[in-house]
Amino acid sequence: MNKNPYDPDAILISFHRRMVRSVAGKHSGKHNLGKKTPIHHNKARQSVIKKQTTPNYLTGSDNVPAGMTNVKQPGGSLTAAVGDGKTDDTSAIQAIVKHVAGSTNNKVFFPRGEYLVSSDITISGSVELHGTQSGIAVIKASIPYAIEIQNASPVKRVSLKYLYLDGILVVFDGQTKGPSSTGDITIESCVFFSSASPTASNGRKRQLVMMELGNSRVYKNVFLRDSGAYGVASRFRSTLSVWVIDNVCGLELSKLEWLSSKVEPVSHWRDQKQKLEFLKTRYNLKSDQGYFKSCLYDQCDRKMKIAENIFNGSPNTGRHRDHAMYLKGFDNMEVKSNYVRGWPANPSGGIKVRNGKNLWLARNYVDDTGILLYSHRKRKACLHDGLKNVIIYGNHLVQRTRPGRRESSLSYYEPHSVGKDENIKYSANVFEIVGFSNPTKYRCIWLTNGNPSQHHVYKDNVYHGTSTTVKLQARGGTPSYETRDIDQKIKDLYNYPVYKLDIPPY
């Protein structure tokens, strides 16, 4: 019997396999995608990580990697950057970047130091900006979040690595020419923070923006915001094949021991821990660096992967919060093995999904917040009519505080009864209810309006530590459980543990 080429599950499974093959081919041995990054509890191994006096990462010398232009000794008629935190290095850095961009020798090296900039650094061709790995290279904005590293025209093959960006915005935009004109952008192992409080308007700006570009990677970065710089970490719009992997959004800087115990890659996270502790002391940073309105906004992106990130928002903001992730208008997206905590304790506080198609949302750990599927009237051209081919599989949802009248960790909401959703599946999700005398009476899945016949809830959605099927409730229709199991192919694709980490609370 021939397979139906338009079968929705077949489409999703085929997409997933293509993504896995691409990972294996391009990043083999570098990223542990699709598997839990475990916490190492072996005391003997942890004892190897000896306590040392924190060095001054801003002073001293660095070995310049072969083939790179040193901004402090660029050669020729180029002016050297000083990197003393007082001298304005804008003109020197801009001239060096312009000189090497697009050439065969297009790598720029920033030795340890503090590079003060007073206006935008513009990239007009292929270039790689590398900070030192043994020390810290800080690019510091004279006015926090009013200065950008940006592209002035469509560019390809640009990377920023090992840079500490103090009040700097990073913006790459295909400028209406689409993802085929701008792409191959890599943001790796950078730290976004602010040592001074921005103005209210600047503080609302995103730290990283990618729009209308393709084939780009954002991984191993740290995003920090304190109470004086409340805002959004990252924004993606109309991109193609962007992967956001192994980033940390929000940290309690006085509790970083857990970073030392991440197994892969141990050296990266251990070194980052020591440098973050140095930053806290050097710039007198507040310990609570989780003041985010949101960690990730996505709109109208295709073939996007969001995996193994830590969205660790502070519960202490006392301000309006949106969501750890807001995903809308997507097509072919995989959101798996993320850790979500510190967002409003209601269904929309954690992961919000709206008007998209072909989504895998699997093996995420969602602590004291929720997952919300949301269909709204189509107000933008790139938005889809409702949700189509969505699989919510194997997530672990913890509820510690009473979230309100719905009392649900996983919800669907359609305020206008458009009724255009298709093939929504909920399977193997585990609901952990903490602090309730009778947790099995807790309503875990709530469906509001829409077309209940298109929402398939399987009996393997259970209360934590039991095989008891969770309570299901709906408005605008009668919900029912599927009598059969979900496709075995889906189970096989996500046959690994949920992304649960041992991170101390703020």
Let me know if 349 is exposed, middle or buried by CB neighbors in 10 A (0-12, 13-18, 19+).
buried
Residues 6+ apart with CB under 8 A from 119: 90, 147
Which tokens go with 317?
Answer: 């903001």
**Omega prior to 198 cis, within 30 of 0:** no
Residues 6+ apart with CB under 8 A from 150: 120, 121, 122, 123, 169, 170, 171, 172, 173
* Angle at CA of residue 120, ends 114 and 126, nearest 5°: 90
Q: What is the DSSP letter of 257?
A: G
Q: What is the pLDDT of residue 54?
A: 65
What is the mean pLDDT of each successive set of 10 residues along the chain, which is 506 residues long? 50 56 45 42 43 78 94 95 97 96 92 98 96 96 94 93 97 79 94 89 86 95 90 93 95 87 53 89 94 92 95 79 88 95 73 93 92 78 85 94 63 73 94 82 81 88 93 78 92 91 82
Q: What is the pLDDT of residue 303?
A: 97
Beta bridge partners of 168: 147
Domain borders along the chain are: 69-322
Which tokens go with 353?
Answer: 């999904």
Query: In CATH, which of 1.10.10.10, 2.120.10.30, 2.160.20.10, 1.20.1250.20 is domain 69-322?
Result: 2.160.20.10
Beta bridge partners of 196: none
Residues 6+ apart with CB under 8 A from 278: 54, 55, 56, 57, 136
**3-state DSSP call for residue 318?**
coil
Pairing of the two strands 288-289 and 251-252: antiparallel
Query: Alpha helix locations (H) across 221-294?
Result: 266-282
Distance between CA atoms of 104 and 309, rounded to whole angstroms? 34
Q: What string of DSSP letters covers 157-206? A: EEEEES-EEESEEEEEE-TTS-TTTSEEEEEES-EEE-SSPPPHHHHTS-
User: Which of these, 362, 364, 346, 302, lies nearest to 327 by C-alpha position?
Assistant: 302
**3-state DSSP call for residue 369?**
coil
User: Which of these, 190, 59, 56, lies nearest to 112 by C-alpha position?
Assistant: 59
Q: What is the pLDDT of residue 25?
A: 46
Distance between CA atoms of 128 and 105, rounded to whole angstroms? 10
CB 92 within 8 A of CB 79: yes
Q: What is the pLDDT of residue 31?
A: 43
Residues 6+ apart with CB under 8 A from 2: none
Is the pTM of the predicted complex or chain greater than 0.85?
A: yes
pLDDT digits 0-9 by tens, 457-469: 999 999 999 999 9
Distance between CA atoms of 162 and 65, rounded to whole angstroms? 14
Q: What is the pLDDT of residue 48?
A: 44
Q: What is the pLDDT of residue 405?
A: 44
